[in-house]
Amino acid sequence: MSDFDWGVIVRSWSFLAEGMALSALLVAVATIGGLVIGFGLALMRLSSNRLIASPAAAYVTVMRSLPLVLVLFWFYFLVPLAIGRPIGSLASALIAFVMFEAAFYCEIIRAGINNVRQGQTEAGLATGLRRSQVMRHIVMPQALKAMTPLVLNQIIIVFQDTSLVYVVALHDFLTTASIVAARDGRPTEMYTLVAVVYLIICLSSTKALELYRKGRAG
């Protein structure tokens, strides 16, 4: 057992910070893109037209059945093929994350919308509002409120998910740390650091979210 050398963290600090910045970028893009596409998918799934609802349902089911690692490989392979020229692994990973998380956000949004009682829609329709107006003024505001904690929770999960870009060699926080670990022969220090940093960020976010939930309920 070698002696620990925590100085390796200080020496590689800026490299690790760049990794963390990439992780943050992935979270931001996956969340914003995922919410937008997820909202579209949710509207499709809620359609009474089966030709619209079924493809969205199939997409969501398949995405949710696959490991993110496989999805990353899929897009790593498919995106350049579809575009017809090589494209950086970052772009592929961003697209993969957006398309993967969209399936999860879709289900959160759909549940939020379904949670609004049918009677609310009926009441809106009964006053002469059109379906789109009922959606915008009555259903969505209530659905948004119900889904906010779930979306925030999903963002924490996405943050954890981003560590998987390791498999396509993108330099996120975990990957930069693993590069340092291998280069300097300091796996213990580096992986402990990664675990502690993730733990602090995710645990404090989770606890803050719990407080927010309780505050809203009470």
Partner 1 sequence: MIVLEDVHKSYGKLKILRGCSASVKLGEVVVVCGPSGSGKSTLIKCVNGLVPFEQGSITVDGVSVSDKKTDLPMLRARIGMVFQNFELYPHMTALENVSLAQIHVLKRSRAEADARSEKLLARVGLGGKLASRPSQLSGGQQQRVSIARALAMDPKAMLFDEPTSALDPEMINEVLEVMQALALEGMTMMVVTHEMGFAQRVADRVLFMDGGEILEDTPKAQFFTDPATERAKQFLTKVLTH
Partner 2 sequence: MNYRWNWSILLQEPYTEWLWSGLQWTVAISLVSWAVALSVGLGVGVVRSLPSGILRVIAGVYIDVFRNIPPLVQLFLWYFVLPEIVPETIGLWIKRDLPYPEFVTAVVAIGLFAGSRVAEQVRAGIEAVGNHLMPAALATGLRPMQAFRLVVVPLGLRAIVGPLTSEFLVTVKLSSLSLTIGVLELTAQSRHIENYTFQGLEAFTVATIGYLVIGLCVTGLMRLIDDRVGGAALRRAGS
Per-residue burial over 49-78, b = 16 or more CB atoms within 10 Å of its CB, e = otherwise = eeeeeeebbebbeebeeeebeebbeebbee
Binding residues for partner 2 restricted to 188-217, rule: CB under 8 A: 188, 191-192, 194-195, 198-199, 202-203, 206
127 binds, among partner 1, partner 2, none (CB under 5 to 8 A by kind): partner 1
Place of tokens 């870009």: 165
Stretch that binds partner 2, among 90-98, 101-109, 121-129, 181-189 (CB under 8 A): 181-189
Q: Nearer Cβ to partner 1, position 115 or 206? A: 115
Q: How many CB atoms within 10 Å of residue 91? A: 14
User: Could you say which of 6, 13, 77, 212 contacts partner 2 (CB under 8 A)?
Assistant: 77
Site for partner 1 in 124-143 (CB under 8 A): 124-130, 133, 137-138, 141-142
17 binds, among partner 1, partner 2, none (CB under 5 to 8 A by kind): none
Q: Which of 3, 14, 49, 81 binds partner 2 (CB under 8 A)?
A: 81
Nearest to 105 by CA among 49, 172, 50, 45: 45
Q: Angle, to 10 degrees, between the axis of helix 173-184 and the axis of helix 13-46?
A: 150
Q: Is 79 in the site for partner 1 (CB under 8 A)?
A: no
If one asks whether residue 70 binds partner 2 (CB under 8 A), the answer comes out as: yes
Q: How many angstroms separate the CA atoms of 44 and 49, rounded?
A: 9
The answer to whether 140 touches 203, Cβ cutoff 8 Å, is no
Minimal distance, residue 127 CB to partner 2, in Å: 37
| Sign of the torsion angle spanned by Cα atoms 51, 52, 55, 61 | negative
Tell me how far CA of residue 198 lies from CA of 51, 53, 192, in angstroms.
Answer: 42, 38, 10
Please tell me whether residue 67 binds partner 2 under the rule CB under 8 A: yes
Closest distance to partner 1 from the beta carbon of 149 (Å): 16
Please identify which residue in 119, 214, 217, 218 interacts with partner 1, judged by CB under 8 A: 119
**Interactions with partner 2, residue window 158-177 (CB under 8 A):** 160-161, 163-164, 166-167, 174
Size of the site for partner 1 (CB under 8 A): 18
Question: Are the C-beta atoms of 151 and 108 separated by less than 8 Å?
Answer: yes
Binding positions for partner 1, rule: CB under 8 A: 117, 119-120, 122-130, 133, 137-138, 141-142, 145
